[in-house]
Amino acid sequence: MLAELVPPAVVTVEAYDDVAPVELFPEEQAVIARAVDKRRREFTTVRGCARQALSHLGFEPVPILPGQRGAPRWPAGVVGSMTHCEGYRASALALDRHVRTVGVDAEPDAPLPEGVLDAIALTEELAMLRELTASAPGVHWDRLLFSAKEAVYKAWFPLAVKWLDFSEARIAIDPAGTFEATLLVPGPETPEGPLTGFSGRWLARRGLLLSSIVVTVPAAGEGSAVSGDSGQGVAERGEEPALGAVSE
């Protein structure tokens, strides 16, 4: 599913269970030494996905350890994002000569826990959710808003290397399968200019909501919309949805 949301330069690998055997490096085992079984399974399977993606890009298996604010530390020359939720694990990686940053997030297509929406949504976004619920029922738009904001943060952090609060990006969701994120704080500089926002894509399928942002490197002589262009018109607070806090 995730491959439908990203350009060809991005390699995606996904899993819907934890059946495939994955051998962790000792450094990775140390990270989850005291973790509960659910956390261990998520952590392990998503790293299997990431190592498969790295292999497609020509890289040998390496430990994938959480760095600052839980963001995965990739080999030099690689950008990417990981996500997992109940029944889904995925990784999306690319070479940095083709892609500047990637942010992907997966969520169950279910209502947000009580109190979360008030903590993450702007006034304009609450009005948007009411309109979407009335005009296009069938998707849990509150959870999709959260997913889009998680994807924004995951795309933002490798470029800015600093926190972005939920209130510092305004999301506009198009029910046709795209969204626009406007940064409400100064964005990081890129060779094309300051980043002012992101364009993303989303889908709802198999009881899941997926959001994706990819900012590509323009080809020589081409301009690039600094809002973020996936190459298909447009996807970590750490590697996973954090409901307000990045964790590895």
> What pLDDT sits at residue 236?
35
∠ at Cα 151 (191, 17), nearest 5°? 130
On whether the pTM is more than 0.75, the answer is yes
> What pLDDT sits at residue 69?
84
> What pLDDT sits at residue 244?
38
Q: DSSP code of 2?
A: G
Beta-bridge partner residues of 116? none
Dist CA 120 CA 129 (whole Å): 13
Beta-bridge partner residues of 20? none
Residues 6 or more apart whose CB falls under 8 angstroms from that of 98 comprise: 9, 216, 217
Mean pLDDT per segment of 10 residues, for the chain of length 248 residues? 98 97 97 96 98 98 92 97 97 98 98 97 98 96 98 97 96 98 95 94 98 92 46 39 38
For every residue of 68-88, DSSP letters joined together read GGG-B-PPTTEEEEEEEETTE
For every residue of 157-210, DSSP letters joined together read HHHH-S---GGGEEEEEETTTEEEEEESSPPPEETTEE--EEEEEEEEETTEEE
Dist CA 152 CA 180 (whole Å): 10
Say if CB 72 and CB 50 are below 8 A apart: yes
Q: Which amino acid is at 168?
A: E
Burial class (CB in 10 A: 0-12, 13-18, 19+), 207: exposed
Tokens representing 47? 């790293």
Tokens representing 42? 């998520």
Dist CA 126 CA 19 (whole Å): 39
> What pLDDT sits at residue 234?
28
> What pLDDT sits at residue 221?
58
Which domains are present in the chain? 2-216 (3.90.470.20)
> What pLDDT sits at residue 108?
98
CA distances for 47 relative to 100, 133, 156, angstroms: 21, 36, 22
